[in-house]
Chains A and B, each alone.
Chain A
Amino acid sequence: MDGLKELTTIIMAGGKGERLFPLTRDKAKPAITFGSLYRVIDFTLSNCLNCGIRRIYVLTQYGSFSLDQHLRAAWDIMHPDLGEFIYSMPPQQIMVSRWYRGTADSIYQNLNLLQRERPQQVLILSGDHVYKMNYLEMLDFHLSRDADMTVAAVMVPRREGSSFGILKVNAAAEVENFLEKPARPPGLPGAPGFSLASMGVYIFRARTLVEEVIKDAKKKSSKHDFGGDIIPQLVGRKKVFAYNFRDAGGQPRYWRDIGLLDAYYSAHADLLGKEPTFDLFEAAWPIRCRPQLYPPSRYLSPGACLAVGDSLVAAGCTIEGTVNQAVLSPGVRVGRGATIQGAILWDGVEIGAGATVNRAIIEDGVKVPPGFAIGVDLKQDARRFHVTENGIVVVPNNVILEE
């Protein structure tokens, strides 16, 4: 546990999440609803809690109010008198008068915080990933290699490597290069069919981190990003290792960046089924969310049975229709004879009687009128809503749906 005392943990949660528009038009990406009950940042924060990390800085910027609200409502659980905290930190404008220019710049702008803590190691996390990870195992790896920087990475099939930041490593897991979305991703020594994708999770030797973000801040050409600027700058000069995030059998563990609407949607499919790809029911690694008071969900079909299958249904829902492969947040109402197929319904969504919703993401509070169809005629949907490349219809709550 000594390692923990000398560790400062920082969660980057300031990104604009433009590729998740319209879901991010009024809130930060980490504050987006995910998996019925959760906000995306809950996964990273739960990981911290589950491995005993209870001193956490959350760097916020874009749409920070949504995140502050959530941290307050769900994560006001630390004891300051025990030295524990979760602090939300928008740009302080103390060191410099500007917004965070990139992930590395957000650390540079908070050097005074690191000076106050004087940690030996700094754990840098992202607030928009869905995964379960014990960061202390990564810290052990980092310390055992006496590394300046350790980058957590997950194996992805080589042909899919072009959509990630890829680490080129040698057989000893030392990083030789960082390639942002390479056309021809390099294979992994020992597993040539796979490439190593950076997870945006880093552990730094504190001194190295400080030196490098300062150097980076003075560079006009830099985008001030850990992946694209800091790693290439370090490689060959310092000891940079990749920590392969895999299970005991050598298989890649679950990790998703939900930066795209289609990725957000398909990560929900991973939650469903008896043996889901990503299990929210694992008692040994609970995911914490905002506690809410709702009555039990009710299923109304006097004299008959309702067809509700393969779904996650939160408390407080009223269901009188058919629901399949759907994820329902608290307080959702599905009217009589309505059909929900492959949809993500946020808090308090109301689906009118006889309405049809296929393959859609519907924001909180949207009222779908009786008989209305979403995801049936995509051409028509595209005139009113955002439709993704994979044909997922996104219904934001700033529109009024007419019958």
Chain B
Amino acid sequence: MASISFRSSFAAHSEGSEALVILISLYLDKPPAGAQGEQNDRPGELLMKTILVVDDDEAIRTLLQEELSDEGYRVIIAGNARDALKKVEEEALDLVILDIRMPGMDGLEALPRILGLKEDLPVILNSAYTQYRESFMSWAADAYVVKSSDLTELKAKVKDLIAK
């Protein structure tokens, strides 16, 4: 027999917005993947698009997580490619932001493996280096954004690809 639980949450998170989102979710047996865990305290998450940020640099992970959360995305992080592949398999993702130079498996190796798991998942390569732009291996990504303290371009690409 399925157990039924009710949950409601209230959110008014986007800056200056008066929007009130009321979510009443009906769960049968188990909540769906992605509705549990560390991000569960974030309000309105069921309507949010989920982005996986893969970078070996903790400062960049934190920066992107904060900035993209402020944009209204649910952000999960991975510090290396293997962890990223695991999350691609387990989570319902809408986009991946992938660093290239990482110890162990690099981003160009991880990219086809990510696509092997979820062939239509959009991926943005985000590297401090421009030279990988010409590598055939990078062409499988939907965008290539060179790292910068100004996140305008990255945010625009994220918005573009998620809207598609």
- CB within 8 Å of B: which residues of A? 94-98, 111-112, 114-115, 118, 210-211, 214, 217-220
Contact = CB atoms under 8 A, between A and B. Distances in A.
A402 B120 CA distance: 58
Contacts of B137: 111-112, 115
25 contacts: A95-B113, A96-B113, A96-B115, A96-B116, A97-B116, A98-B116, A111-B137, A112-B136, A114-B136, A115-B135, A115-B137, A118-B136, A210-B136, A211-B139, A214-B139, A214-B140, A217-B115, A217-B119, A217-B140, A218-B115, A218-B119, A218-B120, A218-B140, A219-B119, A220-B120
Interface string B131-163: 000011101100000000000000000000000
A111 B111 CA distance: 12
Nearest to B141: A214
B79 interface: no
Given A217-B119, A218-B120, A220-B119, A96 B112 contact: yes
Contacts of B136: 111-112, 114-115, 118, 210
A28 to B, nearest CB: 25
**Chain B's interface: helix, strand, loop or mixed, by majority?**
helix
Contacts of B109: 94
A214 B138 CA distance: 10
Nearest to A115: B136
A359 B112 CA distance: 50
A217 B5 CA distance: 41
Nearest to A116: B136
A97 B119 CA distance: 13
A111 to B, nearest CB: 5
Contacts of A218: 115, 119-120, 140
A126 to B, nearest CB: 23
A217 B115 CA distance: 9
Q: Name the 9 nearest CB pairs between A and B, nearest first.
A: A96-B116, A95-B112, A115-B136, A214-B140, A210-B136, A218-B119, A111-B136, A115-B137, A96-B112
Nearest to B119: A218
A214 B139 CA distance: 8
Contacts of A211: 139
Residue of B113, B115, B136, B137 with most chain A CB atoms under a 10 A cut-off = B136
Nearest to B114: A96
